[in-house]
Structure 1
């Protein structure tokens, strides 16, 4: 399997310490406070809850949504719904997209964001992460909708992964989910800090959602996950306060990095920058008990998520200071 952030057991095994600050993911470190579960969440089969879908449609502005066991479930299933196709995936981006399409007989091509527009007319499927993970690059929604129209004219798809879209609602095309050829992925793991629920949503035409639901089978989302997510997606006061807090903390991280000569891009939830010595920087932070995300290949660099509290911010500041003054 591919390497991802959040692998603290690997960090502890390699460096022999337990007091880790995990900045290796882009997950909100102060996630939604899950309510107590009713007893039937555990002993009833998790039939679909229309209240969950209604709450998700309201939050994402989408006309229709299919709940799935994390967007990862949809990423792995979508390539199985098409015959062999010419597939272009934005790169560098979330590596599971290319990994999944490459395993099912499709012809895979990776494209930089700058070159994506030129790939539309000679692809059957184009996959875009917007905002991008890890670099934070974006594509304007009007351009995405134009690409979807051109692909749909040949029976093609535009897959837009908006897992980090909650902090950039103006970029979302989820409201256009019924447009032919458009498939949009959303996640409650990042903004809501509920990655452990394994819950995401897919917006698409009804026929695509039906085919995906049949492929994934029944009971794909647990009862506890549905209950907690419905509460989170309905809590407008928490959502508004979190939007404001993440915006402040994202600016704080950008300023802290700038103080130490680092020009980063990203979103309020994470920052990324190309680095000439990413392995050395990763090791340096690890020796301060800070686990960041190391990228070795096309996106050779470092990604940092947000610290959870003031003590973590101070430890990060100390680690950056000792790095820049080494």
Structure 2
């Protein structure tokens, strides 16, 4: 099966458009452009094997609002869990959101499961009998790339209905930081409920490959046995611990990202790109000429994420006033270019 594409492919963009890599403004990833400041590390962090009793799991629970009895499994980013969880069930029917982060459906399909695509309108109605045709439901809250959200009470109803038959609800919360009212962290520890958290987006630490799974003890033990020891490196665990303990930075960053997301929404609307949805870290909107618009921006060295089904674009946040101005000028040029065709 063809692997899904992702944002941030600057080398490919530089080659395609003939623009040096260091001249690009990359808005394609939805990663905080002003991430947590990583300090120098003590030499022993690089020299010793990771220590599983370093209190990292307790910090993860505190960060996620999870109870003390919730099982926590640190992983090398959400992606490791996305790939590992399908191997823990025999072939079954798995629902995934569409549009949504395509690695979920891809991983379940590669493991031999039957994947069913679900849209937001289908799952938010009063009739929830569609759940009875699934063994596993994967949901992304807020959704990537649309930014759509589902209230925790509804998600818990889904979990109860699935768990009654031995099913699972997996909730990917990669973009939930700064929106604690949406998180199911408080409910973790129950069997059949799996919450994925990541430090890649809000903390801007995608390169560290750092995340965690919060679930019940039985499933956590099976996951640990599947992925093996030392899956998260010592340097990654060190950075995770410091970043998760930095409450002041997290609070200030949530406030800043909210303001920046609203600013980006206004900027896009000012250039005729109305009706965007999104999260604190990106704006998403459907557009019939999304491919043309993405290409017009790329010719100016600005990389955004373009989607085909449905035709849509996702813009990440600029990280400086210079970048905000560059995006604004590029949108003016794009509008003129598309209008004149």
TM over 0.5: yes
- Asked if 1:212 corresponds to 2:219, the answer is no
Q: Is the 8 A contact 2:139 2:170 kept in 1?
A: yes
For residues 175-231 of structure 1, the C-alpha deviation after alignment (integer angstroms, 9 at most, x for no partner) is 111123211100000000000110111011011111001000010000101111111
Shift of 1:49: 4.1
Matches of 1:98 and 1:299 in 2, distance apart? 17
Q: Secondary structure at the match of 2:212?
A: strand
Which deviates more, 115-124 or 164-173? 115-124
Q: Is the 8 A contact 2:174 2:201 kept in 1?
A: yes
Shift of 1:119: 2.5
Matches of 2:18 and 2:336 in 1, distance apart? 25
Matches of 2:311 and 2:51 in 1, distance apart? 44
For residues 242-292 of structure 1, the C-alpha deviation after alignment (integer angstroms, 9 at most, x for no partner) is 011101101100110110111210012001111111111111111111110
Q: Is the 8 A contact 1:148 1:180 kept in 2?
A: no
Shift of 1:84: 1.0
| Correspondence for 1:277 | 289
| Correspondence for 1:190 | 201
Matches of 1:237 and 1:47 in 2, distance apart? 26
| Correspondence for 2:140 | 129
| Correspondence for 1:11 | 13
The aligned length equals: 325
- Asked if 1:307 corresponds to 2:318, the answer is yes
| Correspondence for 1:139 | 150
| Correspondence for 1:111 | 118
Q: Secondary structure at the match of 1:102?
A: helix
| Correspondence for 1:173 | 184
- What are the residue-to-residue correspondences of 1:220-235 with 2, within 5 Å? 220-235=231-246
Q: Is the 8 A contact 1:66 1:201 kept in 2?
A: yes
- Asked if 1:164 corresponds to 2:175, the answer is yes
Q: Secondary structure at the match of 1:166?
A: coil
* Runs of 5+ unmatched residues, structure 2: none
Matches of 2:222 and 2:130 in 1, distance apart? 26
Which deviates more, 158-167 or 117-126? 117-126
Matches of 1:55 and 1:27 in 2, distance apart? 22
Q: Structure 1: which 4+ aligned runs deviate by more than 6 Å?
A: none
The Cα RMSD (Å) is 1.0
